[in-house]
Structure 1
């Protein structure tokens, strides 16, 4: 499969200055001979969707080259990625389940969260569509129809961001009884999509992974997310969080903040914007905005103590 990027926009490229979010002084040159960063390894835990789509390879290479460092990327479901951060075995976490991210920060394990990018979820399935949900715009009705038909639904079943969203949708649809038609795979997004293509009827998937695999599978999008005019219930925002050095003093905090600054700065956001598979844009950057959004730094329902 041809994975490529369109031409970088004029004025932003390899020579763009990367914001280091305060980890280097203004008179230091952020080059390979910087003694504070060069030769270090940053451990990133992130979702399987960023791996399945190939986006992280495209993002990490310029950062590694610029600072002479290595990004050791561990691909897990969102729940497992955050748990790795809780244990201090990663330096920075990139995930897509805001409720779990908020819990991570409220418990003191994460700091300096930033909005990063978004895509959306879609309900995909075989072309015969046994539950008759194709073309519908109500994902709750679609889930009810799948359950009533007893059509095979393959769940991630791994406490990932996708699994978290799926459970929210079943609850919203009022479905609380599951039979043999409901299968928990306990695997990543790519593996689940492959299972549905071979032996299932439906699954909930992120659009980016579906698009990255479209030449390998024979599945259709039956219920669209907001990117193609569907329900906002299927929105899929990604965030990035540094592991708190006040809890784990051995984490590479300065390097984590350099990485966050790079991904949320002009160069990283440009790479996200321009990354395509088969001429399809997979992710949409949202770190840079004219309007400040202070909730990206703290849990959505956070209030200061009296």
Structure 2
């Protein structure tokens, strides 16, 4: 189910004349809480009221293909490049990054904390048939998980592999309830309030790099999209104010994202 979040800025004078832009974003981005910092600043600086459609990356790309949003902010590069190659987006602009981490029971029955690589960590989970919760929703996180199973040379399945077909928050809640392993982006994990007996057990493999990119929907395909607003938002997201807010966003002193906006050719 698509959830629509609108930032209402009654105390900002410029909001009276705000124009609305529809932006599809990932559940991991929304769960991190960064939107609550960025959206008021965007409205104040640009008079753009950003409406977030919070979905997995796969669904965000499909919304873009249908012209149901003006732009998308997602994290699955291969799918993003295919989206642009098919003419659905005008270009891809990197904005910020963090990383994926493997979460699991404190007892760590698969001993993934001792694994040398992320692929080996998943191979250990499969070998011991320890319960693993998959988002199963074609999100960027799910796409990363599938790539890691390939690295592990394992085909997940059976009673130990639980696909929930839901967002990052739901997957983390399910893992907490089942004392199971789960792949998460670091920001969602840090902002997750129901950790129960779970801990961050594995991180640091370069393959777990998690880049977020902004893509305006192609107005040649969908003339009704607000392309000028999408360009204005891109300019703000790649500017100094966004950099300061993104780099300065922390939980308990830990940064959740690093700004790395590209310079456009």
Which of 247, 255, 258 does residue 273 from structure 1 map onto? 247
TM-aligned CA deviation for residue 48 of structure 1: 0.4
Partner residue of 1:254 out of 210, 223, 228: 228
Q: Pick one of 69, 77, 80 that aligns with 2:59.
A: 80
Shift of 1:125: 0.3
Structure 1 residue 32, shift from structure 2 partner: 4.2
Q: Give the Cα separation in 2 of the matches to 1:91 and 1:249.
A: 10
Q: Give the Cα–Cα distance (whole angstroms) in 1 for the partners of residues 183 and 48 of structure 2.
A: 36
Q: How many residues are matched?
A: 253
Q: TM-score, normalised by structure 1?
A: 0.79
Query: Which one of the candidate residues 282, 285, 297 is aligned to 2:259?
Result: 285
How far is the alpha carbon of 1:293 from its aligned partner?
7.8
CA distance in structure 2 between the partners assigned to 1:84 and 1:172 by the alignment: 30
What does residue range 190-229 of structure 1 map to in structure 2 within 5 Å? 190-213=169-192, 216-224=195-203
Retained in 1: the 8 A contact 2:179–2:197? no
Sort the Cα spacing of 1:216 and 1:199 in 2 relative to 1 into closer, same or farther, 3 A: closer
CA distance in 1, matches of 2:83, 2:146: 19
**Displacement after TM superposition at 1:118 (Å):** 0.4
Shift in Å at residue 148 of structure 1?
1.0
Task: Give the CA deviation at 1:131.
Answer: 0.8
TM-aligned CA distance change 1:164 to 1:269, over 3 Å: same
Q: Which has the higher contact order (CA 8 A, sep 6+)?
A: 1
Cα distance in structure 1, aligned partners of 2:115 and 2:25: 32
- Structure 2 unaligned blocks of 5 or more: 1-12
Please give the alpha-carbon distance, in whole angstroms, between the structure 2 residues aligned to 1:231 and 1:144: 15
**1:249-283 C-alpha deviation (Å, 9 max, x unpaired):** 00010001111110111111111000111221100
Say if 2:19 is the partner of 1:40: yes
Say which is worse superposed, 84-93 or 132-141, in terms of deviation.
132-141
The change in CA–CA distance for 1:39 and 1:293 in structure 2 (over 3 A counts) is: closer
The answer to whether residue 103 in structure 2 is matched with residue 124 in structure 1 is yes
